[in-house]
Chains A and B, each alone.
Chain A
Amino acid sequence: QQQVKQSPQSLIVQKGGIPIINCAYENTAFDYFPWYQQFPGKGPALLIAIRPDVSEKKEGRFTISFNKSAKQFSLHIMDSQPGDSATYFCAGKKASGTYKYIFGTGTRLKVLA
């Protein structure tokens, strides 16, 4: 009941396209869902996060869509650029208590110029 399943494993899009990365969680106690972006040789960087009381959150070209009933959430990257080429991780966490972050397995995105 702790898993976060992420898909696809890899994704190639043309510049300007809208890559979509999906995650599904099992633990209904999760109430915080961040997305991280990781470039080679770097640690993951917090990109955007959502709580289940909203269905969508936008920050710049990045949008999270959240479907609480389906226990799914997704990351959309609008007008994708070659500089967005990175690995993206979703995660779930319960805000309080000693619950830890549970990460998805990552999606390697390549945006072609």
Chain B
Amino acid sequence: KAGVTQTPRYLIKTRGQQVTLSCSPISGHRSVSWYQQTPGQGLQFLFEYFSETQRNKGNFPGRFSGRQFSNSRSEMNVSTLELGDSALYLCASSPIPGLYEQYFGPGTRLTVT
């Protein structure tokens, strides 16, 4: 079974621009969560989607948004990029919310210059 895939793997953007990252969960998994990973803050939860609905949201500004499609694929968008948004953005999937195991993708490394 293929794992979680994320595209693109690397991205360089300029301050003020916006970016869209994509995540395809493991086949059959319907819950997708997004995390931001930075050396200083570690892994921080962004949001979780299930059945195209956001179920949970972390403490990030409204510039960070996401959505989920009917095939469970998910995208996250960051508008008006700031230097501090440079991070590894990780997507994780699980069969349904509340089930314990979640599986991470390789991440998208975003650099904001």
> Which of A's residues lie within 8 Å of B, judged by CB?
32, 34, 36, 41-46, 49, 89, 93, 95-106
Let me know if A43 and B90 touch, CB within 8 A.
Answer: yes
- Number of A-B residue pairs, CB cutoff 8 Å, is 52
Interchain residue pairs A-B with the least CB separation, the first 6: A43-B104, A103-B43, A105-B42, A100-B45, A98-B56, A32-B100
Which chain B residues border A98 with CB–CB below 8 Å? 48, 55-56, 97
Point out the residue from A44, A46, A102 that lies within 8 Å of B101, measured CB to CB: A46
> Which of B's residues lie within 8 Å of A, judged by CB?
4, 33, 42-45, 48, 55-56, 58, 90, 92, 97-98, 100-107
Instruction: Name which residue of chain B comes closest to A104, CB basis.
Output: B42
Given the interface pairs A34-B100, A49-B101, A98-B55, the reply to whether A43 lies near B107 with Cβ below 8 Å is yes
How far, in whole Å, are A96 and B55 apart by their CA atoms in the complex? Answer: 12
How far, in whole Å, are A49 and B101 apart by their CA atoms in the complex? Answer: 9
Which chain A residues border B103 with CB–CB below 8 Å? 45-46
Instruction: Name which residue of chain A comes closest to B91, CB basis.
Output: A43
A46-B102, A49-B101, A106-B42 known, 12 other contacts, Cβ within 8 Å: A32-B100, A34-B100, A36-B104, A41-B106, A42-B107, A43-B90, A89-B43, A93-B100, A98-B55, A101-B102, A103-B43, A104-B42
